Each structure stands twice: as structure tokens, then as C-alpha cells.
């Protein structure tokens, strides 16, 4: 289930998506993926990395836009079909770290292992 406390917008997803579909591994189709880097302090040359994913379920009935802020890690997947499976998000807490989420895949044929500070989820 979408039982997360710190994902912005998760309550809206829980209200509008049926409970049997409230699992990240059911949203394994990537329709769009955008990466950007945004300056947050030009004097100190500080910036944050942002990834936006537009995910959909197998029937393309529900689309979720996930925005990941201040990301670190690795992401490699098969570009042929835009599909990945075993997608999971766990709330992650490490004292002294600004990583609050761990995003990964259970599948062994792809490498999807990201940490991020903040996630925003929007139903499209």
C-alpha cells in the first residue's frame, strides 16, 4: 500500500487510486523520464539533481508523476520497452544524511538504486 508519511501528494493518490493498485511495482511503465540540475546557491556552486518520472499501470488507466529531489545513485534499464518491474520505495533514515527515500528494483537485470531527499507524487 501507499503507506508513506513523507511523500508529498501521497494522500491524494490513496484517495483516487483503488487499494488493489496501491503498490509501486504495479506502476512499472515509464512514459516519460526527465533529468535536470537546478542551481540553489550560485555563490557556492551548489545545485540539486531532479528526476521526473511519469509512471503508469499496465492498463494505462492511472498515471503518476514522481518528482525526485536531490538524488544520488545509479539508474540503468532496458531502453527497448520503457518497462521495469519490481519498483519499490522505502522511507530511509540515516542520521546526518539528507537521504530520506531509497528507490530500487527487485529485478536483477536492471540497475535502479537511487536515494533522494524529497519525493512529490501527482496523479495525472
Q: What pLDDT, in 10s, does the model give residues 50-71?
A: 999 999 998 999 999 999 998 8
Query: What is the pLDDT at residue 122?
Result: 96
Q: Within 10 Å of residue 41's Cβ, how many Cβ atoms?
A: 9
Q: Among all chains, which residue has been given the C-alpha cell 504495479?
A: 26
C-alpha of 103 from chain center: 6
Query: What is the pLDDT at residue 29?
Result: 81
Q: What pLDDT, in 10s, does the model give residues 24-40?
A: 888 878 888 899 987 76
Confidence of residue 72 (pLDDT cuts 50, 70, 90): confident
Q: What pLDDT, in 10s, does the model give residues 87-104?
A: 788 887 766 677 888 888
Tell me how far apart the alpha carbons of residues 57 and 63 are, in angstroms, rounded to a whole number.
Answer: 7
State the Cα angle at 88 between 56 and 74, rounded to 5°.
Answer: 95
Amino acid at each position: 500500500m501507499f503507506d508513506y508519511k513523507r511523500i508529498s501528494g501521497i494522500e491524494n493518490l490513496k484517495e483516487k487510486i483503488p487499494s488493489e493498485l496501491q503498490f509501486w511495482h504495479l506502476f512499472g511503465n515509464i512514459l516519460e523520464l526527465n533529468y535536470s540540475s537546478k542551481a540553489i546557491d550560485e555563490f557556492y556552486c551548489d545545485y540539486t539533481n531532479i528526476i521526473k518520472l511519469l509512471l503508469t499501470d499496465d492498463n494505462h488507466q492511472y498515471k503518476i508523476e514522481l518528482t525526485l529531489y536531490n538524488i544520488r545513485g545509479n539508474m540503468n534499464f532496458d531502453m527497448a520497452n520503457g518497462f521495469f518491474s519490481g519498483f519499490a520505495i522505502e522511507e530511509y533514515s540515516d542520521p546526518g544524511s539528507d537521504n530520506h527515500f531509497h528507490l530500487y528494483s527487485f529485478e536483477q537485470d536492471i540497475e535502479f538504486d537511487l536515494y533522494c531527499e524529497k519525493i512529490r507524487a501527482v496523479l495525472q
